[in-house]
Amino acid sequence: MTAKGPLCGEFFISGDEACAEAGISAGCRFFAGYPITPATEVAERMAARMPDVGGVYIQMEDELASMNAVLGAAWGGAKAMTATSGPGFSLMMENLGLGIMTETPCVLVNVQRGGPSTGLPTLVGQGDMMQARWGSHGPYEIIALCPTSPQEMFDLTIEAFNLSEKYRTPALIMADESVGHMTERVIIPPAESLKLYPRRKPTVPPDQYRPFEGDADGVPPMACAGEGYHMHITGLTHDERGYPLTTDPAVQERLVHRLIEKIRANRFDIIRVESDGLEDAEVIVVAYGITARVALWPVEMARAEGIKVGWLKLITVWPFPEDLIRRLARCTGAFVVPEINYGQIVL
């Protein structure tokens, strides 16, 4: 690559490459990662492109360190991301929890492959969906988006950065090998035309700033290192000042409640779906990722034969659109949930 800034125009690139370019367009200037199939192309693209935009690419010794470096970069003021697949995703779970607890905005891309263990590195899978929601320990909420094409890899990576900044939390892209390695036309708009959510900064003097005191929506403004504000950042239970108070159950209850409610209470702003033919559907096919794209053809075939079938694509899998599913369940006969696993989102 020879571009000295974000790209603009039409390109014939893979989903992994589109993801990297989206990160750059969103303002990501720090990428830490470790090579792993089928996500390596995200790192390779970032390694080539970060010097062009004044960013930093670093290959860490493993995925644990990669996620930790991303958290540190975010607290240093950068937009930061990493990319991995199944085994690396498992290793990142501890520091994903740290990012949730410290309310650190960043993006983690998981290009899923067949598992368990090292499984089928070059073949598609969707077996990490429940891990995305429950893989770290303790009670928490997570944001996870699922692209169905290289274009959506670009668009949803931008969206993931915006949601991570808006709600001060790690956001996940739960892609899969087919989407990551698929090569199609991707339209990249001018960076200046993108709607990017700016990091919310404190408006009070440093002596009044509390880094973990939420605004009306439950999200605290975020000062970063070097901006003149005192901060104590810890994975321990902490009060609004960031001071660890691990023996006070009231502090634990207040903190965890806010971390969960800032996602749950704003779920209608976060959740995205796409649908077709739901109005009179007797059966609804619910899918995400590459299976949502593949499912559209048999749905259209069924309609041509007079079968009333609807199609619901989950762009956001977490938080799960349970309000919509409950409403649809009252007026449809059945759901069909195709997945490339043994059933994780199946209803």
- What secondary structure does DSSP assign to 25-64, as a single string? HTTEEEEEE---TTTHHHHHHHHHHGGGGT-EEEE-SSHH
**Domain architecture of the chain: domains with CATH:** 9-193 (3.40.50.970), 274-336 (3.40.50.920)
Nearest Cα neighbor of 128 from 92, 152, 95 is: 92
CB atoms closer than 10 angstroms to residue 318: 25
Helix H segments across the chain?
15-25, 40-49, 63-75, 86-101, 129-134, 150-167, 177-181, 249-264, 267-270, 289-304, 322-329
Supply the pLDDT for residue 33: 97
Nearest Cα neighbor of 87 from 69, 113, 109 is: 113
Backbone torsions φ then ψ of 319, nearest 5 degrees: -65, 145
Supply the pLDDT for residue 247: 84
Do the Cβ atoms of 88 and 34 come closer than 8 Å?
yes
C-alpha to C-alpha distance for 48 and 1, rounded to whole angstroms: 7
Supply the pLDDT for residue 2: 58
Nearest Cα neighbor of 247 from 98, 239, 210 is: 239
One digit per residue, the tens of pLDDT, for the chain of length 347 reads 557 889 999 999 999 999 999 999 999 999 999 999 999 999 999 999 999 999 999 999 999 999 999 999 999 999 999 999 999 999 999 999 999 999 999 999 999 999 999 999 999 999 999 999 999 999 999 999 999 999 999 999 999 999 999 999 999 999 999 999 999 999 999 999 999 999 999 999 999 999 999 999 999 999 999 999 998 999 999 999 999 987 889 999 999 999 999 999 999 999 999 999 999 999 999 999 999 999 999 999 999 999 999 999 999 999 999 999 999 999 999 999 999 999 999 85
Beta-ladder partners of 140: none
Supply the pLDDT for residue 248: 87
Backbone torsions φ then ψ of 92, nearest 5 degrees: -85, -5
pTM for the predicted model, two decimal places: 0.96
Backbone torsions φ then ψ of 241, nearest 5 degrees: -80, -10
